[in-house]
Amino acid sequence: MRVGLLTGGGDVPGLNAAIRAVVKRGEGEYGHSIIGFRNGWRGVVDGDIVPLSREHIRNVLPVGGTLLGTARFHPHSSDGGLDAVLSTLEAERIEALICIGGDGTLHAASKVAEAGVKIVAIPKTIDNDVWGTDRAIGFDTAVEIATEAIDRVHTTAESHNRVMIVEVMGRSAGWIAVTAGIAGGAELVLAPEEPFDIDKVIKFLKHRHRAHANFSIVVVAEGAVPAEGTSMSYEAPVGQFGEIVAGAISERVKAEIERRTGFDTRVTVLGHVQRGGSPVPADRILGSRFGVAAIDAISRGETDVMTALRGEEVVLVPLPEIAGKVKRVPADLLQVARALA
C-alpha cells in the first residue's frame, strides 16, 4: 500500500518517534510505501510530499519537533480545501492516511474521513486534552520541563521573599498546570476547569506569608479565568488564530497580587519552551507504540479510528467518538492540587 503520513498543529517532543515507528513497521513488516506530507494538512492540499524510508528516520528518536514540519491549517475550514485533499490523495495514489495531531487536527481528520478517506489518527498534544486517551504524545515531556522550571523558581523566590507566578500552556484544560504544580510543590494552581476567586487567592497568600513562609509559587494555566461575580474582571486577549496571548492572565494576576498585598511578585512564562527539546523516554515509547498500532490497523483494514492509551494498553477508538471533544482535568486531581496548598 501507499500510506500517507502527516503531523499537524503545534509541534511536540515525540513526534519523530511516531514517524519512525510508522516507517520502520510499515516498510519492514508489510512492504508499504510511506509518503510524508510536509506542513500538516497544508501539505496535503498543496501536494507537498516527501517519500519516507529507513534512511530518513535514522537517529531521529531523541530529536524534538517533527521532521515533516507542521502547520495550523484545517482543510474543511478553507474554501476548496477538502476537494484539494481528495485530489492530492488520488494523484499520489494514497490508499490510507495516518494523521498525527491534537484536537483541531483530529477534528479535521474526522471531516476528511467523512469524505471517504481511510484514516487512522494518532493523538499528540502537550495539553493532554484529546478525548478518549489517557495520554497524548508530548505531555510527559512538557510536564517534566514545567516541573523543572518550578523547582528552579523555588530557590530564587525564597531568596528574594517573592511571589513567583509560573504560566504554562493549557487553553481549555489545565493538565500541565495541575500535574506540574503538584510535582513541583506549588502553593496555588489556577486551571481553566475551576475559575478562581482572586479574593481567596489574596487571602491565602497573606495568611501563608504571615504564618510560616516568606515566598509562594503560583502556577497559572494560560486559559485560567476568574469566576463570574468575583472582584476581578478579565477577558482573555486572543491572537490572529484565536490563540490566547501568552502572559496575559499571569501579568493580570501579578498586578492584582502586588496591588492588594504589597508582595514583590514576578512572572515566568514558559511558553514554547514546553514544546521544545528532546522527548523524555515516556514520549519516545508512547510515540513508538502509537506508530506501530496505527500502521498495524491500516494493514488490517481497520480505519476511521484513533490510537489511544487506556491504562497500559494501546487500543483503537472510533474517530467520531472523539472529534470535537475536550478531555478536562478530573475533579479528584484538582482536589489533590488544592489539598497540598
Q: In sequence order, what E strands does the chain have? A: 2-7, 33-37, 49-52, 96-101, 119-123, 163-168, 188-190, 216-221, 265-269, 305-310, 313-318
Catalytic sites, residue numbers: 127
- Across 130-157, b (16+ Cβ under 10 Å) vs e yields bbbbebbbbbbbbbbbbbebbeebbeeb
pLDDT mean over 228-248? 85
**CATH architecture for segment(s) 2-138+279-321:** 3-Layer(aba) Sandwich (3.40)
Which residues, other chains included, contact 225 with Cβ-Cβ below 8 Å and sequence gap of 6+?
192, 195, 196, 234, 236, 249
Q: So what's the pLDDT on residue 187?
A: 94
The CATH label, of 3.40.225.10, 3.30.70.100, 3.40.50.460, 1.10.15.40, for the domain at 141-275 is 3.40.50.460
The enclosing H or E element of 112 equals: helix 103-114
Domain spans in the chain, listed from the N-terminal domain onward: 2-138+279-321, 141-275
Q: Is 169 annotated to bind ligand?
A: yes
229 is in an annotated binding site: no
Q: Among 65-74, 307-316, 327-336, where is mean pLDDT lowest?
A: 65-74
Q: Is 170 helix (H, G, I), strand (E, B) or coil?
A: coil
Q: Do domains 2-138+279-321 and 141-275 have the same CATH topology?
A: yes
- The predicted-structure confidence for 209-225, as pLDDT tens digits, reads as follows 888 788 999 999 999 99
Confidence check: pLDDT of 341 > 80: no
Instruction: Quickly state the pLDDT bin for 237 (edges 50, 70, 90).
Output: confident
242 pLDDT higher than 80: no
Q: Over pLDDT 70: what percentage of the chain? A: 99
Q: How many Cα atoms are found within 13 Å in the side-chain-facing hemisphere of 320?
A: 2
pLDDT confidence of residue 287: 98
> How sure is the predictor about 74, in pLDDT bands with cuts at 50, 70 and 90?
confident
Mean pLDDT over residues 237-255, rounded? 87
pLDDT of residue 236: 84
Q: Is 274 annotated as a binding residue?
A: yes
Is 171 annotated to bind a ligand? Reply is: yes
Q: Is 283 annotated as a binding residue?
A: no
273 labelled binding-site residue = yes
CA-wise closest residue to 4 among 106, 126, 114, 94: 94
**Residue 80 pLDDT:** 86
Q: Is 260 annotated as a binding residue?
A: no
Average pLDDT of span 95-107: 93
* Residue-level pLDDT at 149: 96
Q: How far is Cα 27 from Cα 85, in angstroms, rounded to an integer?
A: 24
103 is in an annotated binding site: yes
| pLDDT at residue 241 greater than cutoff 80 | no
pLDDT at 266: 96
Cα angle at 124 between 48 and 327, to 5 degrees?
135
CA distance 341 to 77: 43
User: What gap in Å lies between CA 37 and CA 340, rounded to an integer?
Assistant: 46
Average pLDDT over residues 319-340: 91
Mean pLDDT score of the chain: 94
Q: What residues have CB less than 8 Å from 228, skipping those under 6 apart?
A: 195
Residue 328 has pLDDT above 90, yes or no: yes
pTM, to two decimals: 0.94
Neighbours of 50 (CB within 10 A): 15
Query: Would you place residue 144 in the very low, low, confident or very high pLDDT band (cuts 50, 70, 90)?
Result: very high
pLDDT at 289: 98
